[in-house]
Structure 1
Amino acid sequence: MNTERAQQRSTHQTIAAIFNRAASTYDHVGPAFFAYFGSRLVELAHLAPGEHVLDIATGRGAALFPACDAVGFSGRVIGIDLAPAMVAATHAEAIARGDTNITLLPMDAASLAFADATFDAVLCGFAVFFLPDALAALQEWQRVLKPDGRLVLSTWIDPFGPELEWFAPLQRTVLPLPAAPACSGTEPPIFDTPAGLTALLARAGFIEIAVQVERARFVYADEETWWASLWSHGIRGWLESVERERGAAAVQHFKETAFALLREGRQPDGFPQTSSALLGRATRTALAE
């Protein structure tokens, strides 16, 4: 058990460090696909004025700020993130916007410092798959929901789409992707199919589960913007691993090869990427304990 906790702490520290370094440009380079999907989460949550909302892994506020607008001054939105730099950057943006109903806190998504039945809705954009024990985390999120409260979350099916079908194979030729974090439980969670996400939410005790596929087309103006975007989100961790284990020349080779493949798909409006995601909505049962 001590070994497992130590591994989880190490995983948390690694993830936090990556997103600390990415915080200044996260979803602020290229097309704002996190902002798009964050707005969709808020739409599916059907937030009402005066409600209290928790946004888990808030990042740079992709769902936080639309949620703030939806609940109004009589409501409250708390955004948490494992990366302190992300929290600081988003806090500064909230101040600049003049939002007085937002609180930003550094916090582990799997261990929430809130009382039972605190929130009308919990949002989580593209983060549940980072958690060492997704099932336990979902049960923790259910704990802080009020009876009949809503959870709305997103996971990736394919962030790069058919236009960049070469991306993952190219990654594997440079440096194999890290294994998924170990997860307790009888069966590993599946995040990228409607059936898999539905099953995970049901195992966590949620009811009224609905999962839908969402696709959206995003366009990068040029190759360098696309490259800068990679360094602004989770792929940054893999790029840093390549640089650390294979050297800067390997990163440059990957970049040059990727640019050549990227140019093959150039369209009149730029370099397109059709991202597909799952959006799930579920309800805490009124009888949950």
Structure 2
Amino acid sequence: MEAQLEQIREQQKETWNKFSAGWQKWDDFTMEWLRPMGEEIMQALHLTSSDVVLDVAAGTGEPGLSIAAVTKDGKVVITDLAEKMLDVARENAARKGITNYETVVCDVCELPFDNATFDAISCRFGFMFFPDMLLAAQEMVRVLKPDGRIAAAVWSVPAENTWVTTIMGAINRHLQLPAPPAGAPGMFRCGAPGALANLFQQAGLRNVTEKAVTGQLQCNTAENYWNFMNEVAAPVVFAMSKADQDTREAIRQEVFSTIAQRYPRTQVALDYGTIVVSGEK
């Protein structure tokens, strides 16, 4: 891997290890929110009880642990760059009584598995952060068995994701942050229709399909939303670290004002839009 890509990988590893505590705190909330995309991935994989499945960039364990509950006679290998995120995954597995799994710290661009090892591969909200997305897809295809399936979820375009643009829009209006380089890892890197599907086809998958999954992040209150985003969303925390106290308060006031205008008499529920892409080898 090129030195620049290795640097991105190490930065991401440090970031996700740093945010593991926040993810653990909000894990039940976050996993309930992301559950529909995990369920769509599972449906797209056509799982059987004896499948051996790879879950890439699994973080705190999903959808890998849900897949393990279905593949009772098989096994799920749950991977992530960040060991501390996998610590949370193991705690979640123990609490749920799930034992047919193992965790492996690794980089998707250098998977430590033999060719044709897995019956299916899942990846929920990992692709847009991979330093080299095509290499990642090719590695997944390499370790997938013939006729095996891959399914992945990514965020759609910003206009469909007010759960993140509400706060990031306010941040961008108050801070002069440099624009990321074109094609750099980021939330909406795979958001354009066909982007991930084309990548799957380049990697050698066939019968590639994509499906939109939309819904709402149920925050209940503006305070919950603000706290959640400032403890879990890495782009938000990074940007807010550049703001002084007065600027932070101005951003907070704008976010709360925007939410009050949108939801004057109802609970806060911000839209999200995702794309689930699947294909077979």
Is 1:68 matched with 2:68?
yes
Aligned to 1:19: 19
SS for the counterpart of 1:194 is coil
More helix by share: 2
The range that moved more, 11-20 or 131-140, is 11-20
For 2:83, the aligned partner's letter is P
For 1:179, the aligned partner's letter is P
Output aligned runs, 1:108-257, within 5 Å: 108-158=107-157, 161=160, 166-175=166-175, 176=177, 179=180, 191-233=190-232, 235-243=233-241, 245-257=242-254
For 1:32, the aligned partner's letter is E
The range that moved more, 142-151 or 95-104, is 95-104
Cα gap change, 1:4/1:159 in structure 2, threshold over 3 Å: closer, same or farther?
closer
Q: What's the offset of the Cα at 1:194?
A: 2.7
Q: 1:274 aligns with which of 271, 275, 279?
A: 271
For 2:271, the aligned partner's letter is T
Aligned to 1:262: 259
Distance (whole Å) between structure 2 residues aligned to residue 2 and residue 210 of structure 1: 31
Cα gap change, 1:71/1:101 in structure 2, threshold over 3 Å: closer, same or farther?
same
| Unaligned 5+ runs, structure 1 | 184-188, 285-289
Superposed CA deviations along residues 131-173 of structure 1, whole A, max 9, x for unmatched, are 1110001000111100111000001014784756644432321
Distance (whole Å) between structure 2 residues aligned to residue 236 and residue 4 of structure 1: 20
Q: What's the offset of the Cα at 1:192?
A: 1.0
SS for the counterpart of 2:252 is helix
Distance (whole Å) between structure 2 residues aligned to residue 114 and residue 68 of structure 1: 19
RMSD, aligned α-carbons = 2.6
Cα gap change, 1:114/1:177 in structure 2, threshold over 3 Å: closer, same or farther?
farther
Superposed CA deviations along residues 100-131 of structure 1, whole A, max 9, x for unmatched, are 10112222122111111110110000110101
Superposed CA deviations along residues 166-217 of structure 1, whole A, max 9, x for unmatched, are 444323213336515757xxxxx96112322221111111111001111123
The range that moved more, 47-56 or 261-270, is 261-270
Distance (whole Å) between structure 2 residues aligned to residue 210 and residue 94 of structure 1: 31
Cα gap change, 1:3/1:109 in structure 2, threshold over 3 Å: closer, same or farther?
closer
Distance (whole Å) between structure 2 residues aligned to residue 48 and residue 117 of structure 1: 17
Contact persistence 1:130–1:181 (CA under 8 A):
no
The range that moved more, 158-167 or 5-14, is 158-167
SS for the counterpart of 2:24 is coil
For 1:128, the aligned partner's letter is F
TM-score between the two structures when normalised by the length of structure 2: 0.87
Cα gap change, 1:224/1:145 in structure 2, threshold over 3 Å: closer, same or farther?
same
Cα gap change, 1:17/1:173 in structure 2, threshold over 3 Å: closer, same or farther?
farther
The range that moved more, 76-85 or 267-276, is 267-276
The number of aligned residues is 276
SS for the counterpart of 1:211 is strand
The range that moved more, 165-174 or 129-138, is 165-174
The range that moved more, 172-181 or 197-206, is 172-181
Contact persistence 1:77–1:102 (CA under 8 A):
yes
TM-score between the two structures when normalised by the length of structure 1: 0.85
Cα gap change, 1:91/1:219 in structure 2, threshold over 3 Å: closer, same or farther?
same
Cα gap change, 1:253/1:21 in structure 2, threshold over 3 Å: closer, same or farther?
farther
For 2:139, the aligned partner's letter is E
| Unaligned 5+ runs, structure 2 | none
Contact persistence 2:59–2:85 (CA under 8 A):
yes
Aligned to 1:186: none
Distance (whole Å) between structure 2 residues aligned to residue 28 and residue 253 of structure 1: 30
SS for the counterpart of 1:23 is helix
